[in-house]
Structure 1
Amino acid sequence: PGLMSEKFNNSLAAMDKYYNQYIFIPGGSYAVGVGHPRWNEKPEKIVHLPPFYFGKFPVTNALFEIFVEKTGYTTTAEKSGHGTVYHGRRLHQIRNDSSGRLVYSGNSELIIKEIKGACWYQPFGPGSTLYKKRNHPVVQVSLEDAMAFAAWTGKRLPTEEEWEAAARTAHGHVFPWGDEWEKDACNTEESLIGDTTPVDRYLKSANEFGIMDLLGNVMEWTQTRSEYVSGDNNSSVLCVTKGGSFISANGICLPRRSKLQPESHSNILGFRCVAS
């Protein structure tokens, strides 16, 4: 990483430096996409990439807060006055005093709402906070917001190819840990948490490079754009996101791609940075 990146890192406290680590990804050939009918994320191809540095973790609330404090930056969600909020399936554990049994309650289905005032520091809307969430991924950030943070820290957003190469490694695995789904290896719908978790919660699920939190928790912006043509032949530019989120079904794989409008922002959408 360059001088600007080093300057930002040197200004951080020890804990924030821990979450600002970058991992060297060797140049070489990497698999992108997968043609297997189980996942069917085509096209499947081999790409050749120069070396780069990839964020060990998604950008945390603590790091984004430093950026906002130093620059006075106002996010897309704050300007628009609202944000998309996903209430994922979750269970609350309650002890039944009369019988001693555990009783579970909570959301049984996904709920999506546009919430006035939802933004990065109150991701579920007014009344929600970042209390005990400094090491959670920042959310409610648009592509523009993510690019602004990256530029200020001397970095950039990854391309889809870089993201997938760093995530799947030279082995081309479809999950960070291998090629078979493992329950409780990441924060998805089956976790029944219904919210973000610390970016280093699933230490044992790091990939071969040591990169964390690649599946579930929050989707991550890439700078890769894809033109979408609707049925009435109107076209719009969408941006590729990777990694799934806490509302994703189990079996979400690294080649999976979603496409969102650049101004999109929600409580399941974050980012991480790279450096050349």
Structure 2
Amino acid sequence: MSLSQRANTTQISFDWVEIPSGEFRMGSDPIEEVVAYRDESPQHQIDLPEFFMSAKPITNLQYEKFVKSTGHKKPGHWIGGEVPQNRKEHPVTYIDWDDANQFAKWCGARLPTEAEWEKSARGIDGRKFPWGEDDPTEVNANFGNLIGDTTEVGIYKEGTSIFGVLDLSGNVWEWTSSLHFDYPYKFDDGRENVDTWGARVVRGGNYLHSGKNIRCADRHSIFPTARDIYIGFRVVTDDLSKINQKSEIDFEWKRVPAGEFLMGSEFTPIVGEAPDPEYFGVSKHGANRPADFDNEIPQHKVLLDKYRISKTPVTNAQYEIFTKATGYRVPGHWPEGVVTPELANHPVVYVDWADVQAFCTWSGVRLPTEPQWERAARGIDGRIWPWGNFPPNKELANYGQTDKTGRTNPVGVYPAGASPDGLFDVAGNVWEMVGSAYRPYPYNGSDGRENLDLPEEYVLRGGSFYSPHGRYLRTTARSMNYQFRRRDHIGFRVVQNG
């Protein structure tokens, strides 16, 4: 007896079908089934624990929620990056094995093993097709190029398996977790090792295939980097309570009230040299402007709504919550892909623009705009550094290190360097990405510089442990960065409205 269970959350909905524990017959007997392929034998008994399988393949609409939540790459056939209106309920395609795995991890599920897939399709009576022994027709499967395209999921009710799973024959091939090893199937012989390179098994056939290739026992091997219009997937879980359970990241917020502040630099002319060349220098464009920092002028007023900004840059420990929940790639400097206790409270680095946007989208936050960052760093009194108008020292900020021995420090270890609003590490340690494109002043938030989709250089703020002089740590200092760059001295902090 089958049981269908629906999981409704704010993220994504699935129809789940319970597949009961017990034995089933896997593979084909070449004597009994003359059309069977060689890799389907020997036929053998497999005992599986209970699991739940999604009743249908994952649709474009479901996958779109994943893409919007994580910033994951969109399938290339989405027109303008958007799901075509008439294909929302078609199975998502043009996704490779890694794409499918990342979706599954994001929603708390996984890909089925090929044993789980086959049991869901044929039940315990060894049937040839999900609906029984009769050859397929146009009423129970999309096959044989009868339509020449994918169809919406779930419309072939006559093709339902004995457990109540739909679309297990035709329409799209479905990724499984299993490497293509010879039979008999053994869970512990390495074929379920996700880190082993090799061809993975796809099941079910697709809309181009003949009836022979949409049998329950039919198996094909495809390398995991393959993407095509007829390759999709579905997911399984051992525990429905884990689906869409997102770990919350604990940000410590500092509230910044609404109001106006002066943004940028404006220096009073002084006869002769600048007061301190190390921190101010002499501009080639005129005396007493900060050397090579003419991108900070003219000084101008900016009005901001109230907002909340994280007290510290995002740490490795916080970023790890995101990577574990979504399966997103980890920064390359984590030993064996894991955050060590020593690194946990350091700012996360070696992340690029796309990585940061994926983190922000998933956790419901965003990068600060450039004026939001500067207002939180300098307050409303126009101070030069977060702590005031006197130059930094090693008690106030992490800066002035060399490229041989320099490194980040844990966040929050320089309380004397805090800003008027209580932010730590807005000077030194790591340059911080902001959401604004690198454009001349005066700042204008409606001129396109806050369009996250533009392929422009964006602004960095705050200086880093590499910064040789305190002038780079000033609240008005601006630098620029390319979207694809990842370095050991570039991190970020986040904001929310309110």
Common fold: TM-score over 0.5: yes
What is aligned with 1:215? Answer: 169
Kept after mapping to 1: 8 A contact 2:131/2:160: yes
Q: Which residue of 2 aligns with 1:237?
A: 198
User: Secondary structure at the residue paired with 1:161?
Assistant: helix
One-letter code of the match for 2:22?
Answer: G
1:177 and 2:134 matched: no
Query: Which residue, 21, 29, 39 being the options, matches 2:23?
Result: 29
Q: CA, structure 1 residues 227+26, in 2 after alignment: closer, same or farther (shift >3 Å)?
A: closer
1:142 and 1:264 in contact (8 A); partners too: yes
* TM superposition shift of 1:32: 1.1
Partner of 2:217: 255
Q: Deviation digits for residues 41-87 of structure 1, max 9, x if unmatched?
A: 32311100010001100000000000001111115x6xxxxxxxxxx
8 A contact 1:238–1:262 mirrored in 2: yes
Cα distance change of structure 1 residues 244 and 142 upon mapping to structure 2, 3 Å threshold: same
Cα distance in 2 for partners of 1:127, 1:157 equals 25
User: Superposition pairs for residues 122-141 of structure 1, below 5 Å?
Assistant: 122=79, 130-141=84-95
The SS at the match of 1:145 is helix
Q: Determine which structure has greater relative contact order: mean sequence separation of CA pairs < 8 Å that are 6+ residues apart, divided by chain length.
A: 1
Larger Rg: 2
User: Is contact 1:137–1:196 with CA below 8 Å preserved after alignment?
Assistant: yes
CA distance in 1, matches of 2:200, 2:233: 12
Look up the match of 1:52: 51
CA deviation map 1:139-184 (0-9, x unaligned)? 0000000000000000000000000011111112110110121311
% same residue: 34
Aligned to 2:42: 43
Kept in 1: contact 2:111–2:235 (CA 8 A): yes
Map of 1:246 onto structure 2: 207
Residue 166 of structure 1 aligns to a residue in which SS?
helix
Aligned amino acid, residue 74 of structure 1:
K
CA contact (8 A) 1:23 1:54 kept: yes
- Partner residue, 1:189: 144
SS at match of 1:237: coil
Q: Does 1:203 align with 2:181?
A: no
**Is the Cα contact below 8 Å between 1:219 and 1:269 reproduced in 2?**
yes
SS in 2 for 1:29: strand
Determine the structure 2 residue equivalent to 1:121: 78
Question: Whole-Å Cα distance in 2 between the matches of residues 244 and 269 of structure 1?
Answer: 9
Aligned residues: 213
TM-score by length of 1: 0.72
**Does structure 1 residue 226 correspond to structure 2 residue 189?**
no
CA distance in 1, matches of 2:84, 2:144: 21
Write the distance in 2 (CA, Å) between the matches of 1:242 and 1:44: 17
Distance verdict in 2 for CA 1:28–1:183, change over 3 Å: same
What's 1:108 paired with?
none
Q: Is the 8 A contact 1:120 1:141 kept in 2?
A: no
CA distance in 2, matches of 1:224, 1:176: 21
- Correspondence for 1:114: none
Segment drifting more, 175-184 vs 129-138 = 129-138
1:145 match:
99
Q: Which amino acid aligns with 2:111?
A: L
In the other structure, the counterpart of 2:244 is none
Aligned partner of 2:122: which letter?
R
Q: Distance in 2 between matches of 1:120 and 1:46?
A: 41
Letter in 2 for 1:154: G
> Which residue, out of 165, 169, 185, partners 2:119?
165
Alpha-carbon distance between aligned partners in 2 of 1:38 and 1:162, rounded to the nearest angstrom: 23
Q: What is the CA-CA distance between 1:227 and the residue it aligns to?
A: 5.9
Given the two structures, how large is their TM-score scaled by the length of structure 2? Answer: 0.41
Question: Alignment partner of 1:132: what SS?
Answer: helix
**1:187-231 CA distance string (max 9 Å, x none):** 0125x2111001111012111111000000000000101369xxx
Q: Secondary structure at the match of 2:121?
A: helix
SS at match of 1:53: strand
